[in-house]
């Protein structure tokens, strides 16, 4: 029962502030004269690895009890990368914002609308949600996204992610080991932007 609860909570875990760890404030540009240009900003590999390690370590810590202090090891047997669909970042008017002289969106992570994501990794279905962040024309931003020029624009975002299938092995005192559990942790690994002209 405990294993199932831990497994369920782990599979639903999504640290919405994940980009705050790996992204320092940055500015990215939409290409002039190009509609719906896609701009992508990814977390460094070392940050992604650290985030996965924290999830797995938390799971392993919950396996250790006063009556059973067995040794456990892990093996990543499959990795799947993907990207959610695009959606409007939160906080924007219906027709977007007017930029009379050009400018940039201020995009902030950790809130805004969410999208459901469903992934199959080695015949196992994994479902979770990702947030699209919020966009404004001023204020504190994790990423500033420049518009191509004067006009009305909306900011659309998508989230890249990685799902892993991890085998948990329990080691016995006689030197043998058994497959104890299989977990599927996931992490948001980046964000992609589209600047869409609305008028």
Domain locations in the chain as residue ranges? 2-197
Is the pLDDT assigned to residue 147 strictly greater than 50? Answer: yes
Q: Are 135 and 85 in contact (CB under 8 A)?
A: no
User: What is the value of pTM for the model shown?
Assistant: 0.76
User: Is-contact 152 96, C-beta < 8 A?
Assistant: yes
Give the CA distances from residue 173 to residues 75, 149, 177, 187, in Å, rounded to whole numbers and listed in that order.
Answer: 20, 68, 9, 34
Q: Which residues contact 94 (CB under 8 A, 6 or more apart)?
A: none
Structure tokens at 48: 């992604």
3-state secondary structure of 29: strand
Band the pLDDT of 32: cuts 50, 70, 90.
very low
- Of 9-13, 81-85, 134-138, least confident by mean pLDDT is 9-13
């Amino acid at each position: 029962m405990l294993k199932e609860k831990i497994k369920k909570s782990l599979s639903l875990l999504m640290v919405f502030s994940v980009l705050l760890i790996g992204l320092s404030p940055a500015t990215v540009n939409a290409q002039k004269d190009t509609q719906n240009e896609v701009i992508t900003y990814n977390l460094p590999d070392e940050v992604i690895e650290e985030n996965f390690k924290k999830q797995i370590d938390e799971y392993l810590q919950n396996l250790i009890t006063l009556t059973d202090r067995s040794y456990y090891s892990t093996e990543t047997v499959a990795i799947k990368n993907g990207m959610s669909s695009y959606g409007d970042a939160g906080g924007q008017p219906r027709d977007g914002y007017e930029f009379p002289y050009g400018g940039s969106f201020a995009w902030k992570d950790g809130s805004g609308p969410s999208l459901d994501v469903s992934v199959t990794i080695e015949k196992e279905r994994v479902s979770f949600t990702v947030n699209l962040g919020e966009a404004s024309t001023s204020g504190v931003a994790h990423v500033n996204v420049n518009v191509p020029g004067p006009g009305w624009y909306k900011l659309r975002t998508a989230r890249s992610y990685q799902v892993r299938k991890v085998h948990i092995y329990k080691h016995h005192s006689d030197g043998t080991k058994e497959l104890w559990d299989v977990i599927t942790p996931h992490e948001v690994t980046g964000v992609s932007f589209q600047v869409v002209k609305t008028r």
